[in-house]
Amino acid sequence: MVEVIKAFRDKETTNAYYVGDDYSGDRIEELTANGFLAGNTPKLDTVEEVDLDKLKVDEIKAKLDELGVEYDSKLKKPELLELLKQSAS
Protein backbone atom coordinates (compact mmCIF):
# COMPACT_ATOMS: atom_id res chain seq x y z
CA MET A 1 0.00 0.00 0.00
CA VAL A 2 1.05 3.55 -0.74
CA GLU A 3 -0.04 6.73 1.05
CA VAL A 4 -2.21 9.23 -0.84
CA ILE A 5 -0.66 12.72 -0.75
CA LYS A 6 -3.12 14.48 -3.08
CA ALA A 7 -6.85 13.72 -3.17
CA PHE A 8 -8.19 12.11 -6.34
CA ARG A 9 -10.99 9.96 -7.75
CA ASP A 10 -9.79 6.75 -9.38
CA LYS A 11 -10.86 6.84 -13.03
CA GLU A 12 -11.21 3.05 -13.19
CA THR A 13 -13.08 2.34 -9.94
CA THR A 14 -14.54 5.84 -9.31
CA ASN A 15 -13.48 5.47 -5.65
CA ALA A 16 -12.44 8.74 -3.98
CA TYR A 17 -9.11 8.80 -2.15
CA TYR A 18 -8.12 11.51 0.30
CA VAL A 19 -4.80 12.64 1.77
CA GLY A 20 -3.60 10.06 4.27
CA ASP A 21 -5.58 7.17 2.76
CA ASP A 22 -3.80 4.00 1.64
CA TYR A 23 -3.98 3.04 -2.04
CA SER A 24 -3.35 -0.51 -3.16
CA GLY A 25 -4.73 -0.54 -6.71
CA ASP A 26 -3.05 -1.45 -9.98
CA ARG A 27 -2.04 2.10 -10.93
CA ILE A 28 0.50 2.86 -8.18
CA GLU A 29 3.31 3.70 -10.60
CA GLU A 30 1.14 6.03 -12.71
CA LEU A 31 -0.40 7.80 -9.72
CA THR A 32 2.98 8.21 -8.03
CA ALA A 33 4.43 9.72 -11.21
CA ASN A 34 1.48 12.15 -11.35
CA GLY A 35 2.02 13.26 -7.74
CA PHE A 36 -1.02 11.63 -6.12
CA LEU A 37 0.85 8.97 -4.13
CA ALA A 38 3.91 9.22 -1.87
CA GLY A 39 7.23 8.67 -3.55
CA ASN A 40 7.57 11.66 -5.87
CA THR A 41 7.34 14.51 -3.39
CA PRO A 42 10.04 16.93 -2.27
CA LYS A 43 11.64 15.79 0.96
CA LEU A 44 13.59 17.69 3.60
CA ASP A 45 16.82 16.20 2.20
CA THR A 46 16.18 17.86 -1.16
CA VAL A 47 15.44 21.22 0.41
CA GLU A 48 18.44 21.12 2.76
CA GLU A 49 20.92 20.44 -0.05
CA VAL A 50 20.43 24.08 -1.05
CA ASP A 51 21.79 26.86 1.16
CA LEU A 52 18.41 28.29 2.10
CA ASP A 53 19.81 31.69 3.06
CA LYS A 54 21.05 32.17 -0.51
CA LEU A 55 17.63 31.57 -2.08
CA LYS A 56 15.76 34.53 -3.54
CA VAL A 57 12.21 35.24 -2.38
CA ASP A 58 10.63 33.81 -5.56
CA GLU A 59 12.77 30.66 -5.21
CA ILE A 60 11.58 30.23 -1.62
CA LYS A 61 7.98 30.70 -2.76
CA ALA A 62 8.50 28.11 -5.51
CA LYS A 63 9.78 25.60 -2.92
CA LEU A 64 6.77 26.32 -0.71
CA ASP A 65 4.49 25.80 -3.71
CA GLU A 66 6.20 22.46 -4.44
CA LEU A 67 5.48 21.40 -0.87
CA GLY A 68 1.86 22.55 -1.15
CA VAL A 69 2.25 25.11 1.64
CA GLU A 70 -0.13 28.06 1.72
CA TYR A 71 1.41 31.41 2.66
CA ASP A 72 0.66 35.12 2.60
CA SER A 73 2.25 36.58 -0.54
CA LYS A 74 3.22 39.66 1.48
CA LEU A 75 5.55 37.76 3.84
CA LYS A 76 9.17 38.89 3.93
CA LYS A 77 12.15 36.63 3.19
CA PRO A 78 12.96 35.71 6.84
CA GLU A 79 9.33 34.69 7.47
CA LEU A 80 9.20 32.68 4.23
CA LEU A 81 12.48 30.93 5.12
CA GLU A 82 11.14 29.97 8.55
CA LEU A 83 7.95 28.65 6.99
CA LEU A 84 9.97 26.62 4.47
CA LYS A 85 12.15 25.12 7.21
CA GLN A 86 9.09 24.19 9.29
CA SER A 87 7.19 22.76 6.33
CA ALA A 88 10.05 20.68 5.00
CA SER A 89 10.54 18.83 8.27
β-strand partners of 76: none
Q: Which residues of 2-21 are buried (b: 16+ CB within 10 A; e: fewer)?
A: bebbeebeeeeeeeebeeeb
The neighbouring-strand residues paired with 9 are 16
Domain layout of the chain by residue ranges: 2-33, 44-88
Instruction: Report pLDDT digits (tens) over 6-34.
Output: 899 888 888 899 988 999 888 888 898 88
Tell me the H-state helices in the chain: 28-33, 44-48, 57-66, 77-88
- Tens digits of per-residue pLDDT, 40-60? 444 444 444 567 888 899 989
pLDDT given at position 75: 94
